[in-house]
């Protein structure tokens, strides 16, 4: 992937000047571990799904400090074919802490498309008329996902690939992130893709 600088979505400290790669492993239906491939598999983050919570919610936590980095929450929708998620800074679900929202489109010829809308302005609202990133899932059984700027054929900034079959109880994802791209943002997208069954076999 060619170097692409997009700026921070979650925080500038997650934008490395070099390419980064992670393995995201499911430990249970709701929990995941995230390790750094370049650091001998050291744990960098983990995901905790909140049980008995509706709408469904998952927390992306820093492995060292146990502080919540991002909270992702499923949004109720009147249309079953359209799935919406919102991501918030830290452990908050307040509109003032909204970072981005995702809207997944129906499957068309084994390709899943997710539009990502960044929040902006004083009230952190977002407009679905402006698409900041697009995630396209294709390849074999939709396991190969590319995160691109602005449109499906825009510059690729990250790859999210599922490496295990649909019947495995503990799937894994290989996540590669371009230099200058917010890796916490990409990892939060990985959580959304997994929980919402957009990446499926």
* Residue 173 maps to a domain: yes
Q: pTM for the complete prediction? A: 0.87
Residues pairing with 57 in the sheet:
73
Q: Is the pLDDT of residue 51 over 90?
A: no
Section 44-68 average pLDDT: 86
- Confidence category of residue 37, pLDDT binned at 50, 70, 90: very high
Secondary structure element (H or E) that encloses residue 171, with its range: none
Given a cut of 60, whether residue 35 has pLDDT beyond it is yes
For 122, the token pair is: 């004083």
Please give the average per-residue pLDDT across 49-63, as a whole number: 80
For the CA atoms of 152, 154, 158, 163, what is the dihedral angle to 10 degrees? 40
Which pLDDT does position 164 carry in this prediction?
73
**Is the pLDDT at 76 greater than 70, yes or no?**
yes
Does a structural domain hold residue 7? no
Half-sphere exposure of 145 (CA within 13 A, CB side): 32
Domain tally, the chain: 1
What is the domain-level CATH number for residue 97?
Answer: 2.40.160.200
pLDDT digits 0-9 by tens, 154-196? 899 999 998 875 555 677 899 999 999 999 999 999 999 887 6
9 part of a folded domain = no
Q: Which domain holds residue 42?
A: 19-195
Segment 102-129 mean pLDDT? 72
**Cβ–Cβ < 8 Å for 177, 20:** yes
| Whether the predicted pLDDT of 92 surpasses 80 | yes
**Domain-located, residue 164:** yes
Dist CA 171 CA 148 (whole Å): 24
User: Is 3 part of any domain?
Assistant: no
Q: What rounded mean pLDDT belongs to the chain? A: 83
CA–CA separation, 157 vs 83, rounded Å? 23
Burial zone of 171 (CB within 10 Å; 0-12 exposed, 13-18 middle, 19+ buried): buried
Evaluate whether residue 5 is within a structural domain: no
């Amino acid at each position: 992937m060619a170097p692409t600088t997009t700026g921070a979505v979650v925080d500038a400290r997650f934008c490395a000047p070099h390419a980064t790669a992670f393995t995201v492993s499911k430990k249970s239906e709701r929990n995941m571990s995230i390790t750094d491939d370049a650091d001998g598999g050291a744990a960098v983050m983990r995901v905790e799904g909140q049980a008995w919570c509706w709408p469904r919610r998952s927390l992306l936590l820093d492995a060292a400090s146990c502080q919540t980095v991002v909270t992702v929450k499923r949004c109720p929708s009147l249309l079953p074919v359209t799935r919406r998620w919102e991501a918030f800074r830290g452990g908050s679900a307040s509109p003032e802490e909204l970072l981005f929202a995702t809207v997944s489109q129906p499957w068309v010829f084994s390709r899943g498309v997710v539009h990502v809308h960044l929040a902006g302005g004083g009230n952190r609202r977002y407009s679905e008329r402006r698409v900041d990133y697009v995630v396209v899932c294709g390849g074999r059984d939709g396991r190969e996902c590319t995160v691109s700027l602005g449109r499906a054929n825009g510059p690729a900034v990250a790859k999210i690939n599922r490496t295990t079959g649909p019947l495995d109880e503990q799937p894994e994802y290989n996540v590669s992130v371009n230099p200058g791209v917010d890796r916490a943002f990409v990892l939060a997208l990985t959580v959304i893709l997994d929980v919402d069954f957009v990446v499926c076999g």
